[in-house]
Structure 1
Amino acid sequence: MLLFAMLATTLSMRVIASDLYARRVPNRWLLGALLLGTLLLAWQAMHHGIAHAAPHAAGLLLGLCSLLPFYVIRWMGAGDVKFFAVLGFLLGWQALLPVWIGASLLAGVHAVAVYGWRSLRLHLPLPLTLLQHNLTQHRVLAPALHQVQQARGGRQGIPYAAYLGLTSIGWTGWTLWGTAP
């Protein structure tokens, strides 16, 4: 369990950074984690029996099938779905529901904040509107933020994979060092 948790946490940290920065989840990271997880699972099955593989295989299938409809209706990116499936493989099917609930709550707070800010901007007094406009113009010209905008390539939306990563790290810490759920 510890090696799978460490692999899931390492992958999650990389996905969090990538999703926040570029709104991307690189396939090579997912495939690499899946390959390492498969090797760990094969080693574990040789020493402890094949029964240890069932929660991981179920997690992969359940993770993929549960978020795939959201990709089909374009509410979610393919990277989010694939990352959730890999998390299911690494952490087992038991982790999927708490990780999904936590990530969905964080994404909901994010969405409320974005829509709240958009509606608030429409009702700002003129001096604050001008100040906000000036800050926006300077922000767009800032090299670091310009680089982020280029990395995103026009991709917008809520960084759901980042929230999946955050909650998977929390779930892993809770199950390893806290009271088991």
Structure 2
Amino acid sequence: MASVFLVWLLFIIVYDCRQRRAPNWLVLAGAAAALGALAFGMQPFETDWTSALLGGGAGFGFLLLFYAFGLMGAGDVKFAGALGLWVGLSALLPIWIGASLMAGAHSVLWLALKRWPFFPRLALMLTGPSQTPESGASIRRLRIIPYAAYLALATAAWMVWGRQS
């Protein structure tokens, strides 16, 4: 079941980096797989129902505050909730710290490249897809940081290094 989890993380990373969004169908598929793994006793991280549900609630609830202030997209919030179902409550703090450090580095690099455009292609990659509205569409808020992707990367790192203690 760990391979299913890793494939799900990979899909989130690719989709969020390319589109700057985590689609509902992908988040729901991950949450359903997590609940299925719990129900059939195939949870790869030895997380019980209590820890998984607390992790899902904490992941969703904490990041919901950032969404409420317009600092984060809804897909990132929903992904954090689904991620909490997989890893449980105890793993969320190190994963959040790792993801936030990566997102902070992304922001600093983007701001530096925006101010001093030595590598314009890298600055465009960090910005994400073009945010120009199509005809008749409203202007959407610029989403620069693929936070769900950074959560997924931090989770993969946690799987390798964080669980060995």
- Give 2:72's match in structure 1, choosing from 71, 76, 87: 76
Matches within 5 A, 1:7-156: 7-44=4-41, 52-121=48-117, 148-149=129-130, 155-156=142-143
Deviation at 1:120, TM superposition (A): 1.9
Q: How far apart in 2 are the matches of 1:75 and 1:156?
A: 9
Deviation at 1:8, TM superposition (A): 3.0
Alpha-carbon displacement from aligned partner over 1:77-128 (angstroms, at most 9, x marks no partner): 001111111111011111110110001001111111111122224xxxxxx8
Q: How far apart in 2 are the matches of 1:112 and 1:52?
A: 38
Matched, 1:162 2:149: yes
Residues 58/118 of structure 1: CA separation in 2 closer, same or farther (3 Å cut): same
| Counterpart code for 1:107 | A
Partners of 1:8 and 1:87 within 8 A in 2: no
Deviation at 1:175, TM superposition (A): 4.1
TM-score computed with the length of structure 2 as normaliser? 0.79
In structure 2, list runs of 5 or more residues that go unmatched.
135-139
Q: How far apart in 1 are the matches of 2:79 and 2:85?
A: 10
Partners of 1:8 and 1:91 within 8 A in 2: no
Secondary structure in 2 aligned to 1:11?
Answer: helix
More helix by share: 1
Partners of 1:64 and 1:85 within 8 A in 2: yes
User: For this pair of structures, how many residues does the alignment match?
Assistant: 149
| Counterpart code for 1:41 | L
Q: Note the aligned Cα RMSD (angstroms).
A: 2.7
Structure label with greater radius of gyration: 1
Q: How far apart in 2 are the matches of 1:53 and 1:94?
A: 13
| Counterpart code for 1:97 | L
Secondary structure in 2 aligned to 1:158?
Answer: coil
Percent of paired sites with the same residue: 35
Q: How far apart in 1 are the matches of 2:3 and 2:98?
A: 20
Deviation at 1:149, TM superposition (A): 3.2
Select between 154-163 and 72-81 the one with higher mean Cα deviation: 154-163
